[in-house]
Amino acid sequence: MNIVECPRDAMQGWNHFIPTAEKVRYINALMKVGFDTIDFGSFVSPKVIPQMQDTREVLAGLDFSESSSKLLAIIANLRGAAEASLFKQIDYLGYPFSVSETFQLRNANATIDQSLETVAKIAAICQNANKKLVVYMSMAFGNPYGDAYTPEIVYGWVEKIKDLGVDIISLADTVGLATSEQVFTLTDYLIKSLPAQEFGVHLHSGPDNWQQKLQAALDAGCRRFDGALKGIGGCPMADDVLVGNMNTEWMTTYFESQGFKLNINKPALEIASEIAGNVFI
C-alpha cells in the first residue's frame, strides 16, 4: 500500500500565505511518519498559485536524516519540469492532465492536445534526470463545465499517455463528483486492461462518502492513494469552493481495519496532525 501525503494540495488554496518556516516544520514532521511519498510543493507561476512561491526555500529546509519518504513536485509546463528536475531531492514530477478541455485551459493554459505534447517532452526530461513522472488524470470522473465526458474518453487518453512511457497514472476526482460506482468501474477497467501500468487515485471527498469511494478503489485493485491530514485542500483552479482531500487519518485507520499493514509511525502521525491543526487556522 503506497500512501501519498499531499501538503501541497492542502496548502495551495489556503486563504492566507503560510510562512515558509511553518511549511518546513510541517513537512519535516510529515517526513517522519512513513508515507511512501510526500507531494510537498510545485514549480508553477507564483501569479497563479501564490502559496507555492517558496517551494525552493521549503525544499532547502527539509531534513532527510530520519525519513524514507520520496518527494513529489507538481509542474504545469516544460519550464517547471526542467527546473524541478535539477533537484536531486525530488523523486517524482507530477503533471495534471485533464480530460476536460475547459479545465485544462484554466489549469495549464493549454489545450488537451497541446498538453499531450507537453507530457511527451516532460517524460523525456524525467528519463534524462532519473525522475519518475506521475500524470494526474484530472476530471477523470466527470466535470462541472459541460465538456463531453464518458469513461471511454478517459480510456482513450490513458492509452495515449501510457504509450509515452509515463510511470504512474493517478485518476483524480478533482471536484468530488465521483460516485463509488464510478470509482470502481473506471479503476477496475483500467487496472485489468493495463496490468503493467501503475495506477493510483487522488480522491476528493466530503465526510459523507469517503469510505465508499475508498472501498471502491480498493475493490478495483488500487494500492496507491493520495490524502491530506484532516482532509484539507483541493484545487483552487477548479471552482470557488474547495472539495476536501481524502482525510489521511481516516484513510490509514480504515486500511488497517481491512487488514492492510502500513509503515506508519503513529506517534509521528499524531505530532504531524497536531501541527496541521496549527498551520491550517
How far from 147 is each of 101, 144, 239, CA to CA, in Å? 7, 8, 15
Instruction: Give the pLDDT of residue 240.
Output: 44
Instruction: Give the pLDDT of residue 58.
Output: 98
Tens of pLDDT, residues 226-263: 999 999 976 555 554 455 899 999 999 999 999 999 99
Tens of pLDDT, residues 134-172: 999 999 999 999 999 999 999 999 999 999 999 999 999
Query: Residues of 106-130 as b/e, b for ≥16 C-beta within 10 angstroms?
Result: ebbebebeebeebbeebbebbeebe
Alpha carbons 163 and 17: distance in angstroms, whole number: 39
Query: Which class for 15: exposed (0-12), middle (13-18), buried (19 or more C-beta within 10 A)?
Result: exposed
Query: Which class for 64: exposed (0-12), middle (13-18), buried (19 or more C-beta within 10 A)?
Result: exposed
Domain around 95: 2-279
Alpha carbons 106 and 111: distance in angstroms, whole number: 9
Instruction: Give the pLDDT of residue 241.
Output: 47
DSSP-assigned letter for residue 241:
S
Instruction: Give the pLDDT of residue 242.
Output: 53
Instruction: Give the pLDDT of residue 210.
Output: 93
In the chain, the amino acid numbered 259 is G
**Which H or E run contains 106?**
helix 101-108
Which CATH number is 136's domain given?
A: 3.20.20.70
The one-digit pLDDT tens for each residue of the chain (281 residues) are: 999 999 999 999 898 999 999 999 999 999 999 999 999 999 999 999 999 999 999 999 999 999 999 999 999 999 999 999 999 999 999 999 999 999 999 988 899 999 999 999 999 999 999 999 999 999 999 999 999 999 999 999 999 999 999 999 999 998 888 999 999 999 999 999 999 999 999 999 878 889 999 999 999 999 999 999 999 976 555 554 455 899 999 999 999 999 999 999 999 999 999 999 999 98
Instruction: Give the pLDDT of residue 233.
Output: 79
Contact 243, 204 (CB under 8 A): yes
- Tally of domains within the chain: 1
**Which H or E run contains 41?**
strand 37-43
Contact 136, 96 (CB under 8 A): yes
User: Please, what is the average pLDDT of the chain?
Assistant: 94
Residue 228: helix, strand or coil by DSSP? strand
How far from 229 is each of 165, 225, 272, CA to CA, in Å? 31, 13, 8
What is the pTM for the complete model shown? 0.95
Alpha carbons 262 and 267: distance in angstroms, whole number: 14
**Which residue stretches of 130-247 are H helix?**
151-162, 180-193, 210-219
